[in-house]
């Protein structure tokens, strides 16, 4: 088997991975690998923008306050402060590497408004193509760094560890499913930047690669996972049967779009921030209307210059045969963002030596129980900055990797489309916008049955952990809404859900034999730890 050595191995070439590659290349050689092209990442699809408190009436503390409030008592204030404080510096850095943010007629950066932000602080580039513009600028910048080696079509299936448990590399297979494997070794760090889990749900805004692979890689290596029950459902995706969910950015509601039902009644009329309430609330209200047999639409007909402001959304609507300035846009919520993830510090450090995680796959606690709109592109970059500082300031030991001493974890195999289809249906019903014990138990039972047939599936592990985490949280908070526990439990304020490998395998066999598993998982497996 071919083996290659670098200082840093980064898995994932979305915004987090690509920014980290650029910055870390000042400290050594970098391998940036991904199973899909960077243009197929969540980052490339991001529309709405990036939050930063740079307006005259705004400041870092207000940005932090809005983020904490949206996080519903589960955010880590240190992570939130770091996010808000670093944002203006990130804007400056992005401009230096060539990003040109949209400007007003007076030549100032124009700042948009989105749900639960108390000030206009959303920066856009290319109208509704912000993620794409950031990615393109970084992709150009990467070309100037000769010590970055980029490989695509590489599906990482397992991490390599030495006898002390330190992560020293990754093993990948060509994503076109030839059986050929390659091992990549990292002298200083392996960094997971593998994005979210949207593809585990039947309706999602996420591209096909968002299957939560990083969670499984980290867990198999012994890292802790945190708050997996918190999945954000974006309220507004275009709703056409048979078509993939296409996001109608929150910026459209920020520009005046109003949610109405079949009878023309404004769906959010009873709430103080109306259509700009936090995403979980808006998503649930739309879902409830649809459960009552009604449809929900976004009325954008009165928005001036819609086509100029939202060129991609306009083009997609036209391709579906609807005209945003003449027709109502049919909308429905879809899985969008994972607030939980691999437990990390802001600099990506996990609890396993040599292993780092950044971007959406990481859980720093900055998003708590619900993410404030436009904070995730920001977090990708803030984490890449902190990672860079970590390797600059600390006297990080370079380990000469002794390949012959590698310990192998369980080898995962790429999951089939057929299995993915099954999982998506189960997850949508079990742990979708509204959950309860019955839906969760049923979902868990099916996933465990599937695990018996597909023991090497990473997808099924992730599905199971999300459901198990949702079972363990007997309250509603932020994006986690349980019909059987509809209000927050004050005792669970600032209480996180943790999953660690040593607790789970011990019950795995029992869990397969006996379907009273939710009790066992609650008692044995999901550790509720005080922050
Ligand atoms: C439609 C849409 C619109 C959005 N709009 C906004 C917005 O306006 N503002 C905002 O802040 N956020 C937005 N978000 C969220 C934001 O885009 C993401 O949270 C963020 O881009 C995640 O970046 P990332 O680098 O962590 O992961 P991603 O960009 O998802 O990249 C993940 C990378 O990991 C690779 N990968 C995964 N598994 C493996 C594996 N096993 N082996 C090798 N490679 C692997 C993938 O190929 C990919 O390259 C939006 C998301 C979507 C889907």
Count of C-beta atoms within a 10 Å radius of residue 451: 18
Nearest ligand 1 atom, CA 336: 53
pLDDT at 508 over 50: no
Does residue 279 carry a catalytic annotation? yes
> And the tokens for 106?
């007076």
Nearest ligand 1 atom, CA 207: 53
- 196 neighbors 212 (Cβ within 8 angstroms): yes
Q: Answer whether 197 contacts ligand 1 (Cβ < 6 A).
A: no
- The dihedral through the CA atoms of 90, 93, 97, 98 has a sign that is positive
pLDDT at 409 over 80: no
What pLDDT is stored for residue 526 in this prediction? Answer: 47
Task: Measure the CA dihedral 307/309/310/312, to 10°.
Answer: 80
- 101 neighbors 122 (Cβ within 8 angstroms): no
Alpha-carbon distance 343 to 364, whole Å?
6
Q: 235-334 is classed in which CATH architecture?
A: Alpha-Beta Complex (3.90)
Alpha-carbon distance 53 to 302, whole Å?
29
Alpha-carbon distance 285 to 293, whole Å?
13
Alpha-carbon distance 215 to 479, whole Å?
20
Start and end residues for every CATH 1.20.58.100 domain found in the chain? 415-530
Beta bridge partners of 172: 156, 182
pLDDT at 244 over 50: yes
Alpha-carbon distance 48 to 117, whole Å?
13
Q: What is the CATH number of domain 2-226+339-408?
A: 3.50.50.60
Nearest Cα residue to atom 33 of ligand 1:
12
Q: Answer whether 337 contacts ligand 1 (Cβ < 6 A).
A: yes
What pLDDT is stored for residue 518 in this prediction? Answer: 35
Alpha-carbon distance 147 to 187, whole Å?
15
Beta bridge partners of 260: 266, 297
Q: Answer whether 260 contacts ligand 1 (Cβ < 6 A).
A: no
pLDDT tens by residue, 166-220? 999 999 998 876 778 899 999 999 999 999 999 999 999 999 999 999 999 999 9
CA distances from 316 to 245, 246, 489, 521 (A): 11, 8, 42, 44
pLDDT tens by residue, 517-531? 333 333 334 443 322
Hey, which of 46, 196, 337, 380 would you mutate to test ligand 1's pocket, going by the most ligand atoms within 8 Å of its Cβ?
A: 46
Start and end residues for every CATH 3.90.700.10 domain found in the chain? 235-334
Q: Answer whether 17 contacts ligand 1 (Cβ < 6 A).
A: yes
Nearest Cα residue to atom 2 of ligand 1:
46
Count of C-beta atoms within a 10 Å radius of residue 291: 10
Alpha-carbon distance 204 to 459, whole Å?
16
Hey, which of 47, 102, 131, 199 would you mutate to test ligand 1's pocket, going by the most ligand atoms within 8 Å of its Cβ?
A: 131
Give me the catalytic one of 279, 289, 473, 477.
279
pLDDT at 235 over 90: yes
Start and end residues for every CATH 3.50.50.60 domain found in the chain? 2-226+339-408
> And the tokens for 39?
């243009």
> What CATH topology corresponds to 415-530?
Methane Monooxygenase Hydroxylase; Chain G, domain 1 (1.20.58)
């Amino acid at each position: 088997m071919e083996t290659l050595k670098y200082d840093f191995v980064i898995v994932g070439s979305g915004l987090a991975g690509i920014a980290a590659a650029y910055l870390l290349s000042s400290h050594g050689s970098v391998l940036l690998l991904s199973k899909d092209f960077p243009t197929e990442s969540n980052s490339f699809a991001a529309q709405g923008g990036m939050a930063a408190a740079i307006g005259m009436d705004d400041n870092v503390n207000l940005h932090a306050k809005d983020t904490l409030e949206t996080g519903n008592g589960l955010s880590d204030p240190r992570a939130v402060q770091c996010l808000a404080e670093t944002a203006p510096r990130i804007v400056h850095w992005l401009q230096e590497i060539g990003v040109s943010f949209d400007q007003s007629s007076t030549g100032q950066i124009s700042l948009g408004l989105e749900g639960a932000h108390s000030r206009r602080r959303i920066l856009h580039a290319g109208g509704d193509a912000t993620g794409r513009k950031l990615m393109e600028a970084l992709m150009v910048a990467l070309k100037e760094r000769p010590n970055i080696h980029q490989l695509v079509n590489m599906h990482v299936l397992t991490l390599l560890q030495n006898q002390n448990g330190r992560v020293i590399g990754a093993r990948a297979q060509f994503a076109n499913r030839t059986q050929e494997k390659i091992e990549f070794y990292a002298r200083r760090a392996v960094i997971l930047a593998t994005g979210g889990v949207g593809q585990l749900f039947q309706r999602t805004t996420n591209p096909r690669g968002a299957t939560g692979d990083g969670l499984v890689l980290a867990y198999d290596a012994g890292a802790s996972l945190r708050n997996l029950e918190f999945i954000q459902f974006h309220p507004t995706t275009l709703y056409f049967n048979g078509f993939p969910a296409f996001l109608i950015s929150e910026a459209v509601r920020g520009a005046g779009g109003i949610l109405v039902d079949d009878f023309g009644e404004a769906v959010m009329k009873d709430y103080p921030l109306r259509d700009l309430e936090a995403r979980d609330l808006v998503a649930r209200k739309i879902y409830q209307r649809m459960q009552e047999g009604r449809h929900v639409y976004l009325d954008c007909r009165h928005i001036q210059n819609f086509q100029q402001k939202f060129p991609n959304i306009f083009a997609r609507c036209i391709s579906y045969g609807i005209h945003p300035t003449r027709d109502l846009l049919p909308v429905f919520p879809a899985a969008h963002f994972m607030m939980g993830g691999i437990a990390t510090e802001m600099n990506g450090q996990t609890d396993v030596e040599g292993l780092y995680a950044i971007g959406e796959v990481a859980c720093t606690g900055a998003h708590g129980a619900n993410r404030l709109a436009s904070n995730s592109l920001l977090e990708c970059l803030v984490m890449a900055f902190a990672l860079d500082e970590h390797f600059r300031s600390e006297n990080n030991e370079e380990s000469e990797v002794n390949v012959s001493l590698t310990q192998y974890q369980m080898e995962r195999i790429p999951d089939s489309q057929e299995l993915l289809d099954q999982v998506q249906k189960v997850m949508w019903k079990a742990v979708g916008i509204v959950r309860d014990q019955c839906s969760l138990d049923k979902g868990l039972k099916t996933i465990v049955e599937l695990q018996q047939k597909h023991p090497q599936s990473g997808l099924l592990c992730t599905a199971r952990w999300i459901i198990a985490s949702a079972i363990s949280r007997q309250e509603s908070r932020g994006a986690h809404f349980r019909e059987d526990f509809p209000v927050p439990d004050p005792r669970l304020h600032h209480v996180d859900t943790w999953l660690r490998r040593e607790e789970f395998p011990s019950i795995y066999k029992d869990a397969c034999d006996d379907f009273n598993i939710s009790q066992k998982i609650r008692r044995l497996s999901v550790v509720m730890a005080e922050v």
